[in-house]
């Protein structure tokens, strides 16, 4: 059976006036969607699992902030953000290193080089699906001696791993030597993420 792509098209993006009319209501919906998709991992790392709705909202908000009106500019944003929308069998996440002071940045960003390759999802069968860095963004974010505060990663699941995700406890973990952490995903999060993993 052929599935339709979840990627956004130009016709999925409202012009500024149309978006302004629905913005308040839409933002409330997105806040709730993001609440079910946000995972805290230790003290300074947060993962936001993205989907079509969160990326559409991101593009709308960017257009509003930058007063983007030309189709060519919107197409550039679609090209940048569409890879972050997971297809069936995938999860896609924005990894935030949440630091609030210059001192924290000086301490943590050099220590956490390669953290984007160190995130795993441990399934109920004991297997772990490791993160893959989103190729289109990796070269602009990766440095040898200091990491960026934002990374884009994805996870690729086999059909058997999707079923293991659905059938028991799921943990998210970081195996970076400077940041060993593990967190159990609440059921409301795993239920939400199953909508990404399944057709």
Q: Which of 172, 134, 190 is nearest to 42 (CA)?
A: 172
CA–CA gap between residue 82 and residue 67 (Å, rounded): 20
CA–CA gap between residue 130 and residue 18 (Å, rounded): 40
Q: Is 100 exposed, middle or buried (0-12, 13-18, 19+ CB in 10 A)?
A: exposed
Give tens-digit pLDDT for 104-131. 999 999 999 999 999 999 999 999 999 9
- Single pTM value for the model: 0.91
pLDDT on residue 2: 42
Give tens-digit pLDDT for 23-50. 999 999 999 999 999 999 999 999 999 9
In DSSP notation, 101-169 reads SHHHHHHHHHHTTTGGGSEEEE-TTS-EEEPEE-HHHHHHH--SS---SEEEEEEE--HHHHHHHHHS-
Q: Residue-wise pLDDT tens for the chain (199 aa)?
A: 444 679 999 999 999 999 999 999 999 999 999 999 999 999 999 999 999 999 999 999 999 999 988 999 999 999 999 999 999 999 999 999 999 999 999 999 999 999 999 999 999 999 999 999 987 655 555 567 889 999 999 999 999 999 999 999 999 999 999 999 999 999 999 999 999 999 7
CA–CA gap between residue 66 and residue 87 (Å, rounded): 29
């Amino acid at each position: 059976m052929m599935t339709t792509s979840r990627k956004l098209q130009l016709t999925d993006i409202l012009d500024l006036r149309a978006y302004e009319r629905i913005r308040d209501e839409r933002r409330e919906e997105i806040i709730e969607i993001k609440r079910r998709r946000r995972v805290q991992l230790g003290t300074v790392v947060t993962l936001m699992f993205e989907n079509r709705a969160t990326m559409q909202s991101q593009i709308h908000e960017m257009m509003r902030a930058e007063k983007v009106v030309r189709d060519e500019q919107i197409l550039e944003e679609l090209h940048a953000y569409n890879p972050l929308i997971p297809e069936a069998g995938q999860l896609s996440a924005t990894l935030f290193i949440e630091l609030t002071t210059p001192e924290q940045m000086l301490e943590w960003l050099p220590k956490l080089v390669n953290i984007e390759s160190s995130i795993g999802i441990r399934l109920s069968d004991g297997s772990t699906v490791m993160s893959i860095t989103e190729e289109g963004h990796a070269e602009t974010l990766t440095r040898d001696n200091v990491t960026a505060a934002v990374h884009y990663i994805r996870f690729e699941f086999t059909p058997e791993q999707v079923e293991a995700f659905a059938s028991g406890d799921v943990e998210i973990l970081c195996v970076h030597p400077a940041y060993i952490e593990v967190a159990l995903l609440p059921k409301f999060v795993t239920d939400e993420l199953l909508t990404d993993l399944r057709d």
